[in-house]
Chains A and B, each alone.
Chain A
Amino acid sequence: MSENVKKSASGGTAKMETTATGAGTSSLLTRRTALKGLAGLGAAGAGLGAMPGFVPYIQAQSSAPIKIGFQVHRTGIGAAYGRWYDRVTTAAATLINEQGGINGRPVEIVAEDDGTDPKRGAEVVEKLATQAGCDVAYGTLFSHVVMGSAPRAGELKIPYFVVSEGHHVASGALNRWTLQPGICDVKSQVSAMAPYITSTLGKKVTMVYPDYAFGHDHRDSLVPAIQAQGGEVIAQIAIPPTETSFTKYFPQIPRDTEVLYHVMVGPAVLTFVKEMGEFFGPSRPEIFGFIDSLEATDLTNPGLEYLDGTYFWEGMPRYAQEGGPQFDAFYREKVGCDANGASVSDPKDISTYAHMFGCWETMFVIKAGMEAAGYAGPSDRQKLIEAVEAMGEMPASEMHPQGAKIFNGKTHQVFGPQYISKVEGGKLVLQHTAPIEAGMYPDEVDYTTMSF
């Protein structure tokens, strides 16, 4: 970890008393008045001082670091993603501080594990906002944690920057305080893939997807997207989340299938690939999948040989290559990845390269937003939201190494290029870059019309 990034667990190092903001402002006055009165009488209790959050502390805001509360999946099902989200966030904060911080103030990452659990996620947002005194909350990946946490972020009126790729933000399910400015959502990803699938791989598509929300998002987006390109999804095979073997599902794949679209996630994907190979053998249809299944997984693992010659969506190409994103080399070096998308210190430690750029870019969006808003403290949180909503186009740069972006201020969702790669010799080789426009779709919400 770089020396100029001060990173701490919030519970042990909270220093600043949170400024009262939002819904609780008026009601807090009663409590605080009572608390002050009791403190004056010496009745507040010395024992409470030992607990975080009970220690009032005043620091000149102009010199204090900007605290970015990082809701990180360090344990639970999201731990593999969380480990790399953590590293990328640290790297981005290091660079921001090397460049002079934000509005002349250093950035401090205050990380707290949410266990990839929506209940704990909401608690972590509360902790970051009201105990650690963070200026923003950031970094959540798994959709159910976002859904569980976003209401509390809205109530606490803390900007909540998620890196989730879920459609929940742009669908209008959340609130004005929740934004996704660093990574495209599933609907955008799937829409951008459809033209390549139908024009290059085949028009008759069978999709195999997990029978839970993530899989349904794919189904709901893919079917109309393929139809719009003159193709057809001829079978939709939902796999219950409890399945550990898939052999009984493969016979359901119609014989005239030209493209098998799969989006299996989790440890079962290895079994899925193995059994798919046993079922099809050498005479298989074209196969297109989402790399989500194999993030943090070495493609040269035994059992994955069958993927050779198949195609994958990638948010950002894992393997360094010709024609990849312009600023990839700079970003790759900063986050500590080698040309294979693995850690420079451990080639077996494969990154979540297709997603983790979202952390990097979101960090720089926060920086740009705070600078545009003249952000000085929590009282400027509303200005920060409005500044990000007004961002619009973001050119490709070291801050946006995945590619140029268009941020839709109404839907709080960013749109960017998407990448299609083919597995060749155990590596992903870039085949096609879908333009930003291919992933755009009509607005489903206008958050700017909602009150703060």
Chain B
Amino acid sequence: MTGLMKPGALHVGVALLLLAANFLLPEYHHGAMARVLTLAVFAMGYNVMFGYAGLLSLGHALFFAAGLYGMGLPMQHLGLAAEPAFLLGIFSGALVAAVVGALALRTAGVAFMIVTLMFAQAGYLTILYFLEYTRGDEGFVIAREARTVFGLDLAAPEVRYLAAWLLFTVAMFVVLALVRSPAGRVLVAIRENEERARMLGYDVARYKLGAIVVSGALCGAAGAAYGLLFGYVGATFASVQYSILPLLWVLLGGAGTVLGPLLGATFMFYLIDLSSGITDAYMLIAGAALVALTLFAPAGLLGELRRRACPWLP
């Protein structure tokens, strides 16, 4: 029972703490955390695939962008309302992930990384190629009046924060439920020893594909939400740096921990934000911090905590 209580209490507590932050944070940090929560969902999606299934992808910008454009293009060109557009964004992320996964899973290891990277690059160039619709690198703005969900203005600070919080909370409990389910444990088994999992009779390819699709759906949800909450859709979000960022966030926070992506995304945001106030070479500071963490906490912040003090941490 204790094994269920502690993780449950922790995650409910985190959700409540983040909800309370809506009323406590000063204006700047209130807006910043809305962005961090949305990007943490992106990182959580990445974590499902990398942290639990052991699939190291270098192409997750594609899934984020699939959600961003899957939501944004129908709104921009077809006048679709925000609610169905958001669902379409999630579906786009899942669909693209399914297609990429079905093909990329024919490879493994370094080849898998390269194939996912190439798919993401192809996606980025596709956005640039169809510039007439996407406005390419410049992107397009989603009009504020269109950014309403059930009559609520997503550009209003509190609504934006609560929408980001809701998305994050739902994603967090979905991931928590997944990793504690039998399917989640199979994913961990695959990560730890794929051959043994296969020998035990599990359909490894099916589980991996499932993890990729869930990952794509979460990343798509994050992309769609980002566009709706901040009003901009652009090709930069499909570029390679947005494939690297979720990897960094997850590594920082702790791969294979449910809350690690949140911690990593928050840490990275404030590391850059604070160091940019000190020097123009803020990425150097960020880089040094990452090297230090890799050396002294190779399992990430929560990974180290789990190893040293909280083995029950999911």
Contacts and interface: CB of A to CB of B under 8 A. Distances in A.
Interface of A: 9-13, 18, 20, 23-24, 27-28, 30-31, 34-35, 38, 44, 51-54, 74-75, 112-113, 117-120, 122-123, 126-127, 130-131, 143-144, 147-148, 150-152, 154-155, 166, 168, 173-175, 211-214, 216, 240-242
Interface string B92-131: 0000000000000000000000000000000001001101
Nearest to B153: A23
B27 A10 contact: no
Given A147-B138, A211-B131, 8 more contacts: A11-B278, A12-B278, A119-B237, A143-B138, A147-B141, A148-B236, A173-B141, A212-B136
B231 interface: yes
B185 interface: no
A290 B27 CA distance: 42
Contacts of B158: 24, 27, 30-31
Interface string B150-162: 0001011111000
B232 A148 contact: yes
Contacts of A240: 125, 128
Contacts of B280: 74-75, 113
B24 interface: yes
Interface in B1-39: 22-32, 35
Nearest 6 Cβ contacts at the A-B interface: A11-B277, A151-B231, A213-B138, A131-B28, A130-B28, A27-B158
B274 A148 contact: no
B256 interface: no
B128 A155 contact: no
B194 interface: no
Interface of B: 22-32, 35, 125, 128-129, 131, 135-142, 144, 153, 155-159, 230-232, 234-237, 272-274, 276-278, 280, 282-283
A26 B125 CA distance: 43
A147 B23 contact: no
B231 A152 contact: yes
A211 B131 CA distance: 8
B278 A175 contact: no
B128 A18 contact: no
A117 B277 contact: no
Contacts of B236: 117-119, 144, 148
B232 A151 contact: yes
A75 B284 CA distance: 12
B131 A113 contact: no
Nearest to B279: A9
Given A11-B276, A211-B131, A35 B23 contact: yes
Nearest to B278: A12
Contacts of A10: 277
A9 B234 contact: no
Given A113-B276, A118-B234, A241-B128, A27 B26 contact: no
Nearest to B274: A11
A126 B28 contact: yes
Contacts of B274: 11, 51-52
Contact of A168 (B138, B142, B237, B272): B138
Given A144-B234, A148-B234, A213-B131, A155 B144 contact: yes
Contacts of A241: 128, 137
B157 A123 contact: no
B118 to A, nearest CB: 13
Contact of A23 (B32, B156, B276, B282): B156
Interface class of chain A by DSSP? helix
B2 to A, nearest CB: 30
Contacts of B29: 51, 53-54
A74 to B, nearest CB: 5
- Which residue, B128, B137, B140, has most C-beta atoms of chain A within 10 A? B137
A151 B144 contact: yes
A270 B128 CA distance: 23
Nearest to A154: B144
Contacts of B235: 144
B24 A35 contact: yes
Contacts of A173: 140-141
- Which residue, B35, B138, B159, B236, has most C-beta atoms of chain A within 10 A? B138
A151 B141 contact: yes
A151 B230 contact: yes
6 contacts: A18-B27, A27-B157, A74-B280, A143-B137, A151-B144, A155-B144
A9 B131 CA distance: 36
Contacts of B273: 11, 123, 127
Contacts of A13: 277
A241 to B, nearest CB: 6
- Which residue, B27, B144, B272, has most C-beta atoms of chain A within 10 A? B27
A9 B278 contact: yes
B128 A147 contact: no
A216 B157 contact: no
A113 to B, nearest CB: 6
A112 B232 contact: no
B139 A24 contact: no
A131 B237 CA distance: 25
A166 B131 CA distance: 16
Contacts of A38: 24
B30 A118 contact: no
B104 to A, nearest CB: 22
A216 B231 CA distance: 23
A174 B140 CA distance: 9
Contacts of B135: 147, 213
A123 B156 contact: no
A20 B277 contact: no
Nearest to A35: B24
Nearest to A174: B141
Contacts of A24: 27, 156-158
A20 B27 contact: yes
A123 B35 contact: yes
Contact of A127 (B24, B28, B137, B232): B28
Given A24-B27, A31-B158, A213-B135, A52 B277 contact: yes
A112 B32 CA distance: 16
Nearest to B135: A213
Nearest to B22: A31
B234 A53 contact: no
A212 B141 contact: no
Given A53-B29, A117-B236, A31 B155 contact: no
B136 A213 contact: yes
B27 A28 contact: yes
Nearest to A27: B158
A24 to B, nearest CB: 4
